[in-house]
Amino acid sequence: MKEKIKAHLFTLPRWFAIPFFGCSLLMGAVLAGGLGANAWIALVGGLLIMAGGHSFNSFLDYAWTGLDKGEVGERSAEKDYAGGQSIIALGIVSEKEVLFNAIGWYVLALVPLIFLAVKVSWALIPIAIAGMLITFWYSKAKFNWTHELALGIGVGPIALMLGMFSVNPNPPVMTGLLVSAPFAIVLSFLGLALDEWPDAEANLKKGVKSVAYKVWEYGISLEWWASVWLVSLYTYQVFLISIGVLKPMTGLSFFVLPPFIMLLVMLRGNFRKVMGILVLVLAFYPILLLVGQIIEG
């Protein structure tokens, strides 16, 4: 029973991703007006959507795409920072239990978001629904070359717009779209190839077409791939600072660079352990980006 409760409350929601989705949402609020009570209420709703999306991903990858089905070595690998990949296959929870878990998080998310919609802007509701539906695109996106794009839109524009419209009925949308890109890059375009590396051999046999998997299949250096995206991320951030969209103090995020590069050197020595530390280090990028914007805001 304890294992089942842990699965429902912690494993399925994948709370490790809070810094990525949460900081994106709060950045939207900062850009549109500030971190008042409404922003923190929106954060609750946004993180509940994230939890439901992660839970749905576990359900869909088992019941719909079949990526999590099969014996060990034939399904997606379990990660220390996630764990939802094997939860149904191991019999910890049933398909139906995971489905109801996912629906439950989505229903809970609507409570604070409807409250804010009445108070601030009804635009929050279609944005929230888009965030809920994107998990279905994400599951199928692994088979049609839009894998990174689906996750990037979820953690970038959608999360950030939830923050913006929670504090301002007429927020600077174009500014928000520009600033959403770093959040999309760090978790999706940079992070997915790292995350999917242990899954690649098994999932390629099931027909996946995501670029993240092709990094493994074509023998592309994973360290090179991650480094190129990280350099691109910081280059774009400097551009946003130069045009006055981001504050110079967001440069605090550059503290992530040295430990990230050093961990890439160690990655092949103990992939599972080092990958867990890499996720923790990468989580400080959106945190420091947000903190820097707030300090000068």
pLDDT in the model for residue 81:
74
pLDDT in the model for residue 297:
72
Q: In CATH, what is the architecture of 2-296?
A: Orthogonal Bundle (1.10)
pLDDT in the model for residue 82:
73
Could you give the C-alpha distances from 269 to 38, 120, 197, in angstroms and in order? 45, 51, 14
193-227 tens-digit pLDDT: 999 999 899 999 999 999 999 999 999 999 999 99
pLDDT in the model for residue 102:
98
pLDDT in the model for residue 79:
78
pLDDT in the model for residue 143:
95
Q: What's the 3-state SS for 115-141?
A: HHHHHCCCCHHHHHHHHHHHHHHHHHH
Tell me which residues of the chain have a pLDDT lower than 50. none
Q: What's the 3-state SS for 37-99?
A: HHHHHHHHHHHHHHHHHHHHHHHHHHHCCCCCCCCCCCCCCCCCCCCHHHCCCCCCCCHHHHH
116-138 tens-digit pLDDT: 999 999 999 999 999 999 999 99
Spatial separation of the C-alpha atoms in residues 65 and 69, rounded to whole Å: 9
Domain ranges in the chain are: 2-296
